[in-house]
Amino acid sequence: MKKIIVPVDFSEHSEFALEAAASLAQKFGSELIVLHMLELSNAIITSTHEALSQEAVFYLKLAEQKFDTFLDKPYLEDIQVTPIVKHFKVWSEVNDVAQEHNADLIIMGSHGASGIKEVLVGSNTEKVVRYSDIPVLVVKHNPILFDFEDVVFACDFTEEAVKPYLSARAIFDKLGAKTHLVYVNSPDGNFKSSSEIDKKVANFLKRADGDLENMSKVNVVSDYSIEKGILNFANVIGADVIAVATHGRKGLSHFFEGSVSEDIANHSTLPVITFKI
């Protein structure tokens, strides 16, 4: 893991993400690319009017000054940190920055969202999760004891989940984490019999691992919804982080179908890392 993107707005939750990123950077020897987006309108960015141009310069200089204080942290010592300020207004463009710098991971702080605000507005973190082509780690709290000892990886064990599973395993194996694979059998997840699930999981592991050695790591849980099943299981085993595969739905399909990964990223108190299918 050579480069980690950390989008920040200089808030407390951004500091949580920065500290979590520093912890991983120390383990992997990664460079941190700390990104702040001014979210200025196109009218201000492209304007030739002197007053509007001066306003853009003002916000740019203000962001640079905030970086001086924000990045003055003892846990960043001996870590290569590159601050970047962009004029972007749309948070989906974080993925463009990640691609430009060939980053391996995005880490964001989030306070979550719920109710009507989540439906109508969503959160910036949710938008990044939806559009990112690389894994996104969402951090909710101060990572004082940030560690990856027990990880829950939840997926539907379909063929398209093989790639995110292998990506997750590569990260967690290097961290020395114990990975608990989870399949949630629920009414909203196309309920299956035990034999059907065993066959599905076996086919998945044969394709992904080439053998069935990890069959004992698979936990089948039943709950009223996939989200509840994942969160309840993580709570029971005392997990440190939840990993999920995501389709990254966009547009109307996202609005009507929703996304389990985004719901978990919003509602879980644990760190959540998403892997794009």
pLDDT, tens digit, 9 for 90 and up, residues 44-63: 445 554 544 566 566 677 77
Question: Could you write out the DSSP letters of every residue in 7-19?
Answer: EE-SSHHHHHHHH
- Residue of 151 and 46 predicted with greater confidence: 151
Q: What pLDDT was estimated at residue 121? A: 41
Lowest pLDDT segment from 83-87, 122-126, 151-155, 174-178: 122-126
Q: What pLDDT was estimated at residue 113? A: 56
Report the C-alpha gap between 201 and 157 in whole angstroms: 6
Query: Residue 189: is its pLDDT beyond 90?
Result: no
**pTM attached to this predicted model:** 0.84
Lowest pLDDT segment from 72-81, 147-156, 258-267: 258-267
% of residues, the chain, pLDDT over 70: 81
The CATH label, of 3.40.50.140, 3.40.640.10, 3.40.50.620, 2.40.50.180, for the domain at 147-277 is 3.40.50.620
Query: Residue 173: is its pLDDT beyond 80?
Result: yes
- Residue 251: beta bridge partners? none
Query: Residue 93: is its pLDDT beyond 50?
Result: yes
Query: Token pair of 109, please?
Result: 């702080």
Query: Residue 277: is its pLDDT beyond 70?
Result: yes
Q: What pLDDT was estimated at residue 236? A: 95
Q: Any idea what DSSP says for residue 119?
A: H
Helix/strand/coil (H/E/C) assignment for every residue in 50-86 = HHHHHHHHHHHHHHHHHHHHHCCCHHHCCCCEEEEEE
Please state at what angle helix 260-267 crosses helix 124-131, rounded to 10 degrees. Answer: 150
Q: What pLDDT was estimated at residue 53? A: 56
Residue labelled with tokens 């001996």: 78
Q: What architecture (CATH level 2) is domain 1-143? A: 3-Layer(aba) Sandwich (3.40)
Answer yes or no: are the C-beta atoms of 95 and 103 closer than 8 Å: no
Instruction: Tell me whether domains 1-143 and 147-277 share a fold.
Output: yes
Name the strands in the sheet holding 272-276, side by side, starting at the edge strand that comes first in the sequence: 81-86, 31-37, 3-8, 105-109, 136-139, 272-276, 241-246, 150-154, 178-185, 218-222
Query: Residue 108: is its pLDDT beyond 60?
Result: yes
Closest residue by Cα to residue 139 from 276, 45, 41, 274: 274
Domain boundaries, the chain: 1-143, 147-277
Report the C-alpha gap between 3 and 148 in whole angstroms: 19
Residue range 104-127: average pLDDT? 67
Cα→Cα distances 38→35, 44, 88, 234, 259, Å: 10, 11, 6, 36, 28
Residue range 149-176: average pLDDT? 91
Residue range 236-256: average pLDDT? 73
HSE value, Cβ hemisphere, 13 Å, CA-based, for 207: 14
Query: Residue 247: is its pLDDT beyond 80?
Result: no
Query: Residue 86: is its pLDDT beyond 90?
Result: no
